[in-house]
Structure 1
Amino acid sequence: MGKEGTTELLLRLKKGEEGIYDILYPVIYEELHQLAYAHMRRQEPDHTLSKTELVHETYLKMIDQTRIDFTDKSHFMAIASRCMRQILIDYARKKHAEKRGGKKKDKTYIDELFQNPKHKAEELINIDSALDKLEKLNERLAKVVEMRFFGEMTIHEVAETLDISESTVKRDWMKARGWLYKELKGRFKVD
């Protein structure tokens, strides 16, 4: 078999071709690993899940789904980012449940959360809960936050994935951050 591009492999995946994940995975592994690195930078220093484990769990979660609906490589990577977010949120919930009853730690405002590379498990759970609420109010705003914050996608990449203009992404990003600030400000204290 000749060397195929990622887009061609993704199209074959979308058509449901048997065994295509085994061909696609090595091709996109490095990009998935970089995406995992972006997600893991925001975790506590004592996080026990490695980037490689996150990539593998994401891969397993994605192949367990009966049908992944994506439009192109950027959209596929956005779905992978969402899977990583869900895995890390599940991990954070489990860790938080184990620590429940302990002393609550101070938290930061949402703008600081977007700039701070280290997030506590409880903060991630609060952000995830707020994003779920935002998704019910405005799905596109939630997707923009997920892609920008969790997936560290550029304005251009988000615009391509959602098939909207870059100026719309910028406006949505500002609206979403403002909404999240209002939603989360009562849960976080200024350091």
Structure 2
Amino acid sequence: MTNDTDELTVLLRAWNGGSGPAGDAVMALVYDRIRSLAASRLRQGGGRAAIQPTELVNELVVNLLQADVNWEGRLHFFRTVQVAMRNILLDLGRRQSAAKNGGGQFRVTFDAAENQAAEESGDAEVLHEALSQLRQEDPRKADVLELSYLVGLGHEDVAKVLDLSLATVNRDLRFAKAWLRQRLQA
């Protein structure tokens, strides 16, 4: 991992300096990892997504390559990837819900089964709001949770990226999971 992370850091700096080829090289370096994250994220959604992992990653890559971002490092990059992935899926859920519910047309009847996509989209939005609230209250714990579960890094890798001890990562992760569980059950 060290060689890849060092190479990623160098490429992100070059990309900040305006090197278009560096952006392409960043994407080539992390594409497989991001695709794996996308597949995992879609499986977490129960397998009902109307998008394939490759489609999700391709849309994400296009967005990242077109974005004017001053990359601060690996953590910033992967946090941006997970937020962008989550936003793409939320937008897709909203579009599916809108289309399923008449695309803005007034409906007289209500059928809970027809609105399942809207509920799932709502669950994702509740999770997004809870994560945002955790970030406001304790950014470090939010980083640990996001890098571990949303980006898919192991505890040791999270510790390296955030320059924390493994014990701190484990404590922060236990706290963040309990905090999130409490918010989602409320």
The TM-score range, normalised by the shorter chain, is 0.7 to 0.9
Question: Any idea what the Cα deviations from partners look like across 1:79-129, whole Å, max 9, x if unmatched?
Answer: 32232122223323444455676428xxxxxxxxxxxxxx94332221111
The match for 2:51 is 49
The match for 2:77 is 76
The match for 1:175 is 175
The match for 1:61 is 63
* Alpha-carbon distance change, 98 to 145 in structure 1, aligned in 2, over 3 angstroms: farther
What SS is found at the alignment partner of 1:19? helix
Q: 2:112 aligns with which of 103, 112, 128?
A: 103
Q: Is the contact between residue 9 and residue 24 of structure 1 (CA under 8 Å) also seen in structure 2?
A: yes
Output the amino acid matched with 1:24: V
Q: 2:40 aligns with which of 31, 38, 41?
A: 38
Distance 1:10 1:21 in 2: 7
The match for 1:28 is 30
Distance 1:43 1:176 in 2: 21
Q: Is the contact between residue 62 and residue 68 of structure 1 (CA under 8 Å) also seen in structure 2?
A: no
Distance 1:98 1:136 in 2: 34
Runs of 4 or more above 4 Å deviation: 96-102
Q: Which structure exhibits the higher relative contact order, with contacts defined as CA atoms closer than 8 Å and separated by 6 or more residues?
A: 1
Distance 2:94 2:174 in 1: 28
Bigger drift between 176-185 and 24-33 goes to: 24-33
Output the amino acid matched with 1:91: L
Output the amino acid matched with 1:123: D
* Alpha-carbon distance change, 96 to 144 in structure 1, aligned in 2, over 3 angstroms: farther
What SS is found at the alignment partner of 2:44? coil
Bigger drift between 80-89 and 177-186 goes to: 80-89
Q: Flag the structure with higher helix content.
A: 2
TM normalised by structure 1 equals 0.74
Over aligned residues, Cα RMSD in angstroms?
A: 2.8
Bigger drift between 26-35 and 91-100 goes to: 91-100
Structure 2 unaligned regions, length at least 5 = 1-6, 102-109, 114-118
The match for 1:127 is 127
Aligned length: 169
* Alpha-carbon distance change, 127 to 169 in structure 1, aligned in 2, over 3 angstroms: same
Give the C-alpha shift of residue 8 in structure 1. 3.6
Question: Any idea what the Cα deviations from partners look like across 1:107-154, whole Å, max 9, x if unmatched?
Answer: xxxxxxxxxxxx943322211111111111112222222222222211
Structure index of larger Rg: 2
Q: Is the contact between residue 12 and residue 71 of structure 2 (CA under 8 Å) also seen in structure 1?
A: no
Give the C-alpha shift of residue 7 in structure 1. 4.5
Output the amino acid matched with 1:88: L
What SS is found at the alignment partner of 1:152? coil
Give the C-alpha shift of residue 42 in structure 1. 1.0
TM normalised by structure 2 equals 0.75
Give the C-alpha shift of residue 25 in structure 1. 2.5
Output the amino acid matched with 2:21: G
Distance 1:21 1:181 in 2: 37
